[in-house]
Structure 1
Amino acid sequence: MRYNKMTALAAAAIVTATAGHAQDMSDWPASFTVGTASQGGTYFAYGSGWANLVAEELGISGGGEVTGGPMQNMALVHTGDAAFGMTTMGPAAESLGGTNPIAPGLAMDKACAMFPMYQTPFSVTALSSSGITSVADIPDGARIGFGPAGSTSDTYFPRMMETLGVNFERRNGGWSDLGGQLQDGLLDVIAFAAGVPVPAVSQLEVQTDVNIIEFTEAEQAAIMEAFPVSSFEIAADTYTTLEAPARSVSMWNFAIANCDLPESFVYEATNVVMSDNARMVNIHRAAQSTVPENWDKNGVLMWHPGAARWFQENAGADIPADMIYGG
């Protein structure tokens, strides 16, 4: 493992009364990072927020790190270069199966489930001045921004567009950068896969008129048949532009932890996030789904023993022993 250890001298004397009992921290890391994604996306805002919350509550130095998103986060957490990270279930499954493009053939089985985050809706945004109000309106050869290379959006949205018969030029970049390119006329469309509200979309709404484009029922059905997603509605009050809920599809996100992190550390970090949802919602509204009962949305990753114990003790989670790392 590459996470930093406290010096033996300091660690021997440290205990904390976290969760109402004396907690030995001697094997805890002195600092940690949370792999997020690009600035302007939900992962960065959400991940930096919970990293800071855990650091403050547990008295450990920690923070969010800008990354390429779920695929890179799986790799960073697997190797221990990041203690924690965030991923969607699709990239998690591909990483476990050895098809992560960062390290083809490597089964990234040292990244364990920590806690449920929220669903990532897939949505399309264009400037109102473009006249694009539906997927069918996207012109042949349109320049579409799909987010950072290797992100959930970049992994799945191009395939979804191809499934829907859209021909396009693929562009990559951070969400804030792509938002600027859309506003400057360098892109025709941005295909977002991020928790809502997406900061970059909210910023665009302040600066210009945009169309947030929903899928038709037929388009939604075609995508759900071809990809590991479920139906989703973006609530009308998510953006000022929306006058009614927007039909979409979504994929669940989970926080992940390196499987070799100390059980007590991951238990307490999970407790900080899951025990007070109001604090998480203050960080980002997508955290309304960061609640204990959504533990069952993970059917892909092995659970970290510390996280599994928290959900078993506090949410009545019936996690099979063979789904707990080392169990």
Structure 2
Amino acid sequence: MKLQTIVAAAFASSVFAATPAVAQDRAGWPDSFTVGTASQGGTYFAYGSGWANFVAENLGVSGGAEITGGPVQNMALVHTGDLKFGLTTMGPARESRDGESPLAPGMKMDNVCAMFPMYETPFSITALSSTGIKSISDIPDGATIGFGPAGSTSDTYFPRMMEALGVNFKRRNGSWSDLGGQLQDGLIDVVAFAAGIPIPAVSQLEVQTDVNIIGMNDEEAKKIVDQFPVSEFVIPASTYQSLDEPSRVVSMWNFAMVNCDMPESFVYEITKLTMENNEKMVSIHKAARFSVPENYSKNTVLPWHPGAARWFNENGYTIEAAAIK
């Protein structure tokens, strides 16, 4: 026992002596952190919880994920400091910064900073094959459509998109897992998903039943791109076993965000860890193959946190001072 104590003390002493800068850099670091994600069954929860665990394990700070309503609520929680980290989509982020959040109209959520790019969120539709719905125009008048959790990216934008495409529907909210179950049970007609691919709920659905994953035709895609802050996107056929060919849809970028008051050194180390270990991030969720430094330019909405900006600038990705909080 004495020998073990002596060895442990010697090891601790050597580590402390070898890394005084690290100890100094940790001034102001929180004892723990929580990442705002979204509902279970969606990509945000899988990505966010895995990322939080990865950061916690490597930086020695307790961390985890919290189930939330998604990007809109995450913007509010990070702005107020109730959560220090969160995941958001650029559309809801812009509306929240402009004071147009449906959760707090008039409140400009400007204490939220960007950390790193995540991936694009495709907007896609899933229906049971037995319904015969193979295209948006096949969706029957008055169909019940599940749009995800209230306040999510899907719930914020997909109903507007469906209206723009002339679809007359009844709106249903719920977690992706819950809506997938309702679709399988025939309680709703369609689920309008907005999440990074592959979406866990869709992957689970197609194992249990036959589904149609529905894209957009030329006219539909052009109309949506012209009216909303999205761009065209192609879901590769390899993403789901139900796809025989690539599916053309639209998408919106996602970024990890942080309360702007978090210590620069802490955010720097998290950004460094995430951006320099993409293979590990992809093992957490395949959508993370787009979580690479080159996509930093996709952020045109949020100011950059000084800690994140320092890492990008040190590694050849220029972020001007005016874009840093």
Determine if contact 1:16/1:25 at 8 Å carries over to the other structure: no
Instruction: Describe the shift of the 1:322–1:114 C-alpha distance in structure 2 as closer, same or farther (beyond 3 A).
Output: same
User: How big is the shift at 1:135?
Assistant: 0.1
Cross-structure match for 2:30? 29
Determine if contact 1:17/1:23 at 8 Å carries over to the other structure: no
Residues 1:183 and 2:184 aligned together: yes
Determine if contact 1:16/1:23 at 8 Å carries over to the other structure: no
SS in 2 for 1:307: helix
Cross-structure match for 1:159? 160
Distance 2:300 2:16 in 1: 35
Determine if contact 1:117/1:287 at 8 Å carries over to the other structure: yes
SS in 2 for 1:113: strand
Instruction: Describe the shift of the 1:291–1:87 C-alpha distance in structure 2 as closer, same or farther (beyond 3 A).
Output: same
Distance 1:271 1:48 in 2: 18
Cross-structure match for 1:3? none
User: How big is the shift at 1:26?
Assistant: 2.0
Cross-structure match for 1:320? 320
**Amino acid paired to 1:320:** E
Superposed, which structure 2 residues align to 1:118-129 within 5 Å? 118-129=119-130
Superposed, which structure 2 residues align to 1:48-59 within 5 Å? 48-59=49-60
Residues 1:61 and 2:69 aligned together: no
Superposed, which structure 2 residues align to 1:101-140 within 5 Å? 101-140=102-141
**Amino acid paired to 2:103:** I
Instruction: Describe the shift of the 1:142–1:15 C-alpha distance in structure 2 as closer, same or farther (beyond 3 A).
Output: farther
Cross-structure match for 2:8? none
Cross-structure match for 2:84? 83
Long gaps (5+) in structure 1 = 1-13
TM-score in terms of structure 1 length? 0.93
User: How big is the shift at 1:317?
Assistant: 1.7
Determine if contact 1:35/1:82 at 8 Å carries over to the other structure: yes
User: How big is the shift at 1:322?
Assistant: 1.1
**Amino acid paired to 2:321:** A
SS in 1 for 2:123: strand
Distance 1:204 1:267 in 2: 39
**Amino acid paired to 1:51:** A
Cross-structure match for 1:174? 175
Distance 2:319 2:178 in 1: 41
Distance 2:60 2:145 in 1: 43
Larger Rg: 2
User: How big is the shift at 1:24?
Assistant: 2.1
CA-based RMSD of the aligned residues comes to 1.4
User: How big is the shift at 1:238?
Assistant: 0.2
Cross-structure match for 1:11? none
**Amino acid paired to 1:59:** G
Higher-helix-fraction structure: 2
Distance 1:17 1:227 in 2: 53
Superposed, which structure 2 residues align to 1:86-97 within 5 Å? 86-97=87-98
User: How big is the shift at 1:21?
Assistant: 6.0
Distance 2:262 2:244 in 1: 46
SS in 2 for 1:109: coil
SS in 1 for 2:186: coil
Residues 1:256 and 2:257 aligned together: yes
